[in-house]
């Protein structure tokens, strides 16, 4: 690990003012410190934001939206009874991620900003355009079983690893940001960038900008009775998704009023499947309809090497999530959160 300066910020304004070239913000560091230890990233200054007052609150705003502070712990949010009842897919996603110890430390903003788990990105002996622009992508032609099937380019085939971000994207969450130019907001579905020719640019954050909160809109509450998050992984605990899906439905008699679908671990960002949502709207739920929606969600998918099975896995997890969402959100979260095999 390289030598670095350490600054503890007392406010958001202090943190932003302390930022500069070679600096990084530090909260719990559950991802950043691993990257530093492995030499993947080498910040020259760490700005500790973990003690800034007011960033660890969950608030209901006058318009009915819910504002989740950047420093709210994953475990705190998932185990909040009122939040879990209102946004069950978000709670299920949080509880399916990492381990209990990490969920006790990991923060809202850190989860949104966590970096890809591509093994070539983590291996500093491998060529990686994300780590070193222009170096090439050694994943292409390599072991690609876990890599992207949507939105990838010849420069990068990595995926975004977050569970939390998938239902946030489906429910239309917004990211609140503060930086040198003041405050602004970005829809979470647009916050992460696809690789294109610049995979080193992972988000829409400008230099020095800091996430201060994530906000769920008032209409996200409408999906509470019919929403699920499902995740296919290689083991039940402490594993990143091969594919995942967050689904929300509203039912009007025997018709679907609204539908929300987002996929995880299939692209370098949570993948909102708007065409599939439109196909479901106003229709009567059925296995055939759900299969058509899954096909629409994966219409642009193409394998990157030997991971064609991910496309079929993603189709099946969308159908399974829609089927379970139609049946209704369980009164209690399953003993195996997000597992398609959990009761």
| Residue range 62-87: mean pLDDT, rounded | 98
Distances (CA, A) of 293 to 185, 231, 257: 30, 18, 15
Q: Per-residue pLDDT tens for 116-125?
A: 999 999 999 9
Can you give the pLDDT at residue 238? 85
Whether residue 310 lies inside any domain: the answer is yes
> Domain containing 26: what range?
5-51
Can you give the pLDDT at residue 212? 98
Number of domains in the chain: 2
Whether residue 152 lies inside any domain: the answer is no
Whether residue 163 lies inside any domain: the answer is no
Query: Which secondary structure element, helix H or strand E, spans residue 113, and what is its range?
Result: helix 108-113
Whether residue 274 lies inside any domain: the answer is yes
- Considering only CA atoms, give the Rg of the chain: 20
Closest Cα partner for 262 from 278, 245, 275, 279? 245
Can you give the pLDDT at residue 110? 98
| Residue range 157-164: mean pLDDT, rounded | 98
8 Å CB contact between 342 and 336: yes
- For residue 287, the domain's CATH number is 3.30.390.50
Q: Mean pLDDT in the chain?
A: 97
- Residue 328 scores a pLDDT above 80: yes
Per-residue pLDDT band at 333 (split at 50, 70, 90): confident
Distances (CA, A) of 61 to 216, 218, 224: 10, 9, 18
Whether residue 106 lies inside any domain: the answer is no
Tokens representing 153 are 């380019």
- Residue 335 scores a pLDDT above 90: no
- For residue 14, the domain's CATH number is 3.30.43.10
Q: Is 275 helix (H, G, I), strand (E, B) or coil?
A: helix
Whether residue 250 lies inside any domain: the answer is yes
Per-residue pLDDT band at 343 (split at 50, 70, 90): low
Whether residue 202 lies inside any domain: the answer is no
Whether residue 307 lies inside any domain: the answer is yes
CA angle 338, 257, 265 (to 5 degrees): 30
């Amino acid at each position: 690990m390289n030598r670095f300066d350490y600054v503890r910020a007392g406010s958001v304004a202090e943190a932003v003012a302390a930022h500069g070239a070679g600096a990084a913000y530090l909260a719990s560091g559950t991802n950043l410190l691993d990257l530093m230890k492995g030499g993947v990233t080498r910040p020259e200054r760490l700005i500790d934001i973990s003690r800034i007052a007011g960033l660890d609150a969950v608030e209901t705003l006058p318009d009915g939206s819910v504002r989740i502070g950047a420093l709210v712990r994953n475990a705190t949010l998932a185990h909040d009874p009122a939040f879990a009842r209102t946004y069950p897919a978000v709670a299920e996603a949080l509880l399916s991620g990492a381990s209990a110890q990490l969920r006790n430390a990991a923060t809202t903003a850190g989860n949104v900003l966590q970096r890809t788990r591509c093994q070539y990105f983590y291996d500093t002996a491998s060529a990686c355009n994300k780590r070193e622009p222009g170096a090439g992508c050694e994943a292409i032609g390599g072991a690609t079983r876990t890599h992207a099937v949507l939105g990838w380019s010849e420069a990068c085939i990595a995926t975004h690893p977050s569970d939390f971000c998938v239902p946030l994207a489906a429910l239309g969450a917004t990211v609140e940001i503060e930086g040198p130019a003041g405050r602004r907001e970005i829809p979470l579905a647009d916050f992460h960038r696809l690789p294109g020719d610049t995979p080193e640019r992972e988000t829409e954050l400008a230099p020095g900008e800091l996430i201060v909160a994530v906000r769920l809109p008032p209409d996200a509450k409408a999906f509470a009775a019919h929403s699920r998050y499902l995740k296919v992984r290689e083991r039940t605990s402490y594993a990143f998704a091969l594919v995942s899906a967050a689904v929300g439905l509203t039912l009007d008699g025997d018709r679907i009023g609204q539908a929300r679908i987002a996929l995880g671990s299939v692209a370098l960002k949570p993948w909102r499947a708007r065409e599939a949502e439109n196909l479901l709207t106003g229709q009567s739920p059925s296995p055939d309809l759900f299969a058509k929606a899954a096909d629409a969600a994966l219409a642009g998918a193409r394998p990157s090497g030997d991971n064609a099975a991910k496309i079929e896995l993603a189709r099946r997890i969308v159908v399974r999530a829609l089927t379970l969402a139609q049946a209704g959100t369980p009164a209690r979260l399953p003993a195996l959160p997000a597992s398609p095999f959990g009761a």
